[in-house]
Amino acid sequence: MRIFFMAVFAITALFSSVPNTTKELQDKMALQNAQNMFIRAIELHDANQTDKTIEAYRELIDKFENSTNREIKTITAQAMFNLALEYSNAGNIEAENRLYGQIISKFANLNDTTIETITANSFFNQALIAYPINDTKGEMQIYEKFIERFRNTNNENISIILANVMANLGYVYAKEDKKSEAIDIYNEFIYKFEDSKNEYVQILFAGSLLNLSVIHIEMGELKDGLASYQRLIEQFKNSANHDILQKVGAAVTNKIELEICNDIKPSFNDENKKLADKSEYSAFMYEFLQIIHLNTRQIDKLNAWRDKYSHISFKKMDVDFDFSDLDRWVKQLKNPKRKWVQECIDALKEFGDK
């Protein structure tokens, strides 16, 4: 899950004290000038005058990029970030990406909460640029640098971005068949954010547990995979969030499917049934697994399930169902059970052909 951060940060307030030296007067005048230029750029943005907005931000940055005044540095960083977003809106991705790089390098060692947040957003947006052009290596490197830099942050806003970055990096590692690296980063993420009360982080947490389970299974680590599914179920079974409940339902049915395919007593029970029923797809799969687990052929039950969920389509629901465990399991069975299970699997595959 990816977020595009688009923010205009608060402008620093003017000094309230009366300057008593020429240097203080010059600093106040420079700060007021920077603030006025920043306000002007925002007004042009609000008026949808993109070219003039870009010009206004560029003028501000050129004028104050070498300032040593902390408040002016903050305004300059804000201007650079907002200018990058203007370039994005204008379709100039190269200029946008270049500005993010300049922000990251220019403000690397400045201990300022606002500028740290701007820098963190710049890292993240660079990764967003790498993603659609399939620059997976570049995307991974950006995420890795981000984690190295912000791993121990105490900034709440950056902490949420860090959670997103770690979850995304785990996904990218898994996609690139770096399964051990994916497990490591997911485990670090889980350790770091297991007590988070932030709802968005909790959604990422549930998704990370789900992905971690899949990776363990792919690596032949059945016990760890089942444990991750169970942890997801236990930790979020009382959630009221729709996205989290979808993941809980998936964990319930994925776990039962694995149990069936590995001759483990399947965890069909009232609580799991209620959890599965909170998501139509999970309810669909839960009922299917109950049917396929039957010891005798009961075509009436199978047909009733087909009719009940005739509107379901894997393609429409964007579900990429993996039949490998079921296909492997059915080959180990003997007739008549094998014939019945194959009939059920074929019925399930029909929902992928719609």
pLDDT digits (tens, 9 = 90+) for 69-93: 989 999 999 999 999 999 998 999 9
Q: Is the pLDDT of residue 226 over 90?
A: yes
Pick the CATH number of 1-133 from 2.40.50, 1.10.3470, 3.30.870, 1.25.40: 1.25.40
| Rounded CA separation 122/81 (Å) | 7
| Rounded CA separation 346/354 (Å) | 13
Q: Is the pLDDT of residue 18 over 70?
A: no
Which residues are CB-neighbours of 178 under 8 A, at least 6 positions away? none
Q: Is the CB of residue 30 less than 8 Å from the CB of residue 14?
A: no
> End-to-end distance of the chain based on CA atoms, in angstroms?
27
Q: Is the pLDDT of residue 311 over 80?
A: yes
Which residues are CB-neighbours of 226 under 8 A, at least 6 positions away? 213, 255, 258, 259
Residue 155 tokens, joined: 């900034």
Residue 107 tokens, joined: 């403000």
| Rounded CA separation 39/34 (Å) | 9
Q: Is the CB of residue 117 less than 8 Å from the CB of residue 160?
A: no
Q: Is the pLDDT of residue 281 over 80?
A: yes
Q: What backbone torsions phi and psi does residue 17 show, to the nearest 5 degrees?
A: -80, 155
| Ranges 19-28, 71-80, 137-146, 248-257: which has the least confidence | 19-28
pLDDT class of 354 with cuts at 50, 70, 90:
low
Q: Cis link prior to 336 (omega < 30° from 0)?
A: yes
Q: Is the pLDDT of residue 221 over 60?
A: yes
pLDDT at site 12: 42
| Ranges 66-70, 98-102, 238-242: which has the least confidence | 66-70
Average the pLDDT over 267-276 and give the result.
Answer: 97
| Ranges 41-55, 91-105, 118-132: which has the least confidence | 118-132
pLDDT digits (tens, 9 = 90+) for 174-214: 999 999 999 999 999 999 999 999 999 999 999 999 999 99
Residue 90 tokens, joined: 């204008």
The more confident residue out of 25 and 337 is: 337
pLDDT digits (tens, 9 = 90+) for 322-339: 999 999 999 999 999 999
Half-sphere exposure in the Cβ direction for 298 (13 Å, CA): 11
pLDDT at site 132: 67
Q: Is the CB of residue 168 less than 8 Å from the CB of residue 127?
A: yes
| Rounded CA separation 354/352 (Å) | 6
Which residues are CB-neighbours of 206 under 8 A, at least 6 positions away? 232, 235, 236, 239, 243, 244, 247, 248
Q: Is the CB of residue 57 less than 8 Å from the CB of residue 86?
A: yes
Q: Is the CB of residue 146 less than 8 Å from the CB of residue 106?
A: no
To 10 degrees, the CA torsion angle through 293, 299, 300, 303?
90
pLDDT at site 40: 96
Q: Is the pLDDT of residue 24 over 90?
A: no
> What is the percentage of the chain residues whose pLDDT exceeds 90?
76
pLDDT at site 19: 52
pLDDT at site 316: 87
